[in-house]
Amino acid sequence: MNNKILLMLQLQNQLNDATNGEEWTKGFTKNGKTINWKRCIYMECAEMVDSFAWKHWKAIDREPDWQNHQIEVVDVWHFIMSLAIEEYAKNSKGGVEDIAKDISNLDSLVQIEKDTLSFAEVNAVIEKVENVMRIALSKESVNLELLMHEFFDLVAMSGLNLETLYRLYVGKNILNQFRQDNGYKEGTYIKVWNDKEDNVVMKCIWEEKSDVTPEVLYAELSKAYAEIQKK
């Protein structure tokens, strides 16, 4: 079993429990709000496409925003894992350990376990994003294996591998927890810190401290957030 895949699934499960209540796999939050992970996936994919100058009538020479694109890839991964956990629970297929074992056995995982990191041609990336959207938009039962296959293709085409996906995911997961703890749902959370989005601040902390743990990352975010609140 791939330990990084297992840890990401465990963290996602914990985040969903804390945010949505421990029965979220039944399709509702603790407040009775309907959860639709497939919609989350295709809406985030639409945002991903906006990282590129796809419009033929506006900003046609704008450079691709690969950094934002990679963050969106990680956001989609949150929702794919959540969908997998929900599907396994609903169909009595097991928990996160079972999902991790099944993902670890996928041939498509092998390509992102390699160290090669490069960006694919933009139109090819957009086409791959739209493949993920088509699967999420299907009215049939979701084909999780196909969804994972297309997503891992997208990861490789986005200049990411399993290690960088893992690091960005853990960083974003901790940031999401931090947001929830600091008024995100209530609308009081400050998302821009000294002209930088909190996503960027989180990414910078990871890059400056390669051996940072999730606990230390949370502490560093708390320190940075306390500084901007003084202003």
Please report the domains of the chain, with CATH numbers, ordered by start residue: 3-164 (1.10.4010.10)
Q: Which residue has the tokens 């708390």?
A: 222
Residue 217 bridge partners (DSSP): none
Q: How is 80-132 classified by DSSP, letter by letter?
A: HHHHHHHHHHHTT---HHHHHHHHHT-HHHHTTSS----BPPHHHHHHHHHHH
What is the CA 51 to chain-centroid distance, rounded?
A: 15
Beta bridge partners of 34: 28
Convert the pLDDT of each residue in 178-192 to its tens digit. 998 999 888 899 999
What is the torsional sign of CA 122, 124, 125, 126? positive
Quickly state the pLDDT bin for 209 (edges 50, 70, 90).
confident
pLDDT over threshold 90, residue 207? no
User: Can you tell me the mean pLDDT for 60-69?
Assistant: 91
Per-residue pLDDT at 231: 66
pLDDT at residue 148, as a whole number: 97
Burial class (CB in 10 A: 0-12, 13-18, 19+), 172: buried
**Which of 18-22, 95-99, 114-118 bottoms out in mean pLDDT, i.e. has the lowest?**
114-118
Q: Model confidence over 102-119: pLDDT tens digits?
A: 999 999 998 899 877 899
How far out from the chain centre does Cα 181 lie? 19
Rounded mean pLDDT of 6-10? 94
Contacts of 187 by beta carbon, 8 Å cutoff, 6+ apart: none
What is the pLDDT confidence band of residue 228, given thresholds at 50, 70 and 90?
confident
Please give the average per-residue pLDDT across 202-218, as a whole number: 82
**β-sheet bridge partners, residue 119:** 158
Q: SS3 helix, strand, coil % of the chain, rounded to 5? A: 65, 5, 30
